[in-house]
Amino acid sequence: MKPFFLVTLFILAIIAPPIEATPIRLKDLVEFDGVRSNDLVGYGLVVGLNGTGDGLRNSPFTEEIMTNILERLGVNITGEQFRPNNVAAVLVTARLPPFARAGSPIDITVSAIGDASSLLGGTLVMTPLNAADGNIYAVAQGTIIAGGVVAEGDAANITQGVPTAGSIPGGATVEREIDFEFSSLTRLRLALRTPDFTTAGRIETAINAQFGRPVALMLDAGTVEIDIEEMQMASPAHAMGRIENITVEPERRARVVVDQSSGTIVLGQDVRISRVAVSQGNLTLRIEEMPIVVQPNPFADGETVVVPRTNAGIAEEPGIGLAEVRGGTSLSEVIAGLNALGVSPRDMIDILKAIKASGALHAEFIVR
């Protein structure tokens, strides 16, 4: 049995025992309407690179922003031949968390947009960060932590990780707050991350049971509305703190997820297979080119000729024959039936596709 197959069987085995659904906190199942982060983006300059910056001839925008920054600092370089190789133009991205106040630090990500080979050791110069409305909500500056390494010599180079991107923990400071009157809300909607009627109904029941009266109403598979006034809490914030830790057992759809690049197969707990017979075999076509070079004798008239030579062959593996996969009423029975086929992960993926096409696999089939 191949080692790679053993790894896949281990992945299947660790989820094989039938496990009861685990209660999940409400805050991990839903998004609270209006309580969300906002994306920020900015265009800035990184300085202090060790000769790994942009080539200004290939990245004229880097020279432009460098000139603008120096002029704002009172340095006039008009007409000067200023072409350093220790600067790089970058895009700075961040997420402004909900209820962020002026002066709060947020993390940022810095990514090169020119032909810089590394941002390691560079310093981001003060960069304003804008939201989708065009307003500036934060300002970023600091030393970049790059996660990649580059080593090169005269005839070879090696790169590990991504040295052209990095981060600055707490590298931006919030300068402007988002206007959101949370305290004036009278109703609050909960948006399920995975819409499901059963889960939404359980959330409604759990919240109403917590307060002993109907304060929550399921609107659809993805939305539960809460009447904050009916909760009789001091404020919407107190109501949020009361309900976000309520636990609910979510309902999950039966799914089979396969990753064709790595050969990984993951089966959900509710996957079922009806009784089916499977036959599988491999056909291998091999073509090999081995040309021969024929040269004339020494001091003889003639020319060198390349004579082609090709070896071709077809090999067919015996396969597993016609094997029966018994219908499984639990995940462990399904896995036992599939493992009885004794095939590789790649072949298992093809078999699962065929079983799904036959209508015997009762689950959503996702291929990545």
**Which of 112-116, 176-180, 267-271, 311-315 is modeled with the greatest confidence?**
112-116
- Higher-pLDDT residue of 68 and 144 is 144
- Higher-pLDDT residue of 14 and 96 is 96
pLDDT of residue 148: 66
pLDDT of residue 168: 93
**Which of 8-12, 195-199, 338-342 is modeled with the greatest confidence?**
195-199
pLDDT tens-digit profile of 48-75? 888 888 876 667 777 777 777 777 777 7
pLDDT of residue 151: 66
Q: Is 281 exposed, middle or buried (0-12, 13-18, 19+ CB in 10 A)?
A: exposed
Report how far residue 192's alpha carbon sits from residue 250's, in angstroms, rounded to the nearest whole number: 10
Specify whether the CB–CB gap between 94 and 107 falls below 8 A.
Answer: yes
Is the C-alpha dihedral spanning 124, 130, 135, 140 positive or negative? Answer: negative
Task: Give 105's pLDDT tier (boundaries 50, 70, 90).
Answer: very high
pLDDT tens-digit profile of 79-104? 666 667 888 889 999 999 888 889 99
Position 323 pLDDT exceeds 70:
no
pTM of the model: 0.63
- Mean pLDDT lowest for which of 70-74, 107-111, 180-184, 336-340? 336-340
CA dihedral 363, 364, 365, 367 (to 10 degrees): -150
The residue-averaged pLDDT of 256-267 equals 81
Q: Label residues 286-309 b or e (16+ Cβ within 10 Å = b).
A: eeeeeeeeeeeeeeeeeeeeeeee
Contact partners, residue 57, CB within 8 Å, separation at least 6? 83
Position 136 pLDDT exceeds 90:
yes
86 token code pair: 């220790």
Position 173 pLDDT exceeds 90:
yes
Specify whether the CB–CB gap between 44 and 93 falls below 8 A.
Answer: no
The residue-averaged pLDDT of 360-368 equals 82
- Higher-pLDDT residue of 221 and 339 is 221
The domain ranges of the chain are 3-18+255-287+318-367, 38-174, 181-248
Position 9 pLDDT exceeds 50:
no
pLDDT of residue 361: 81
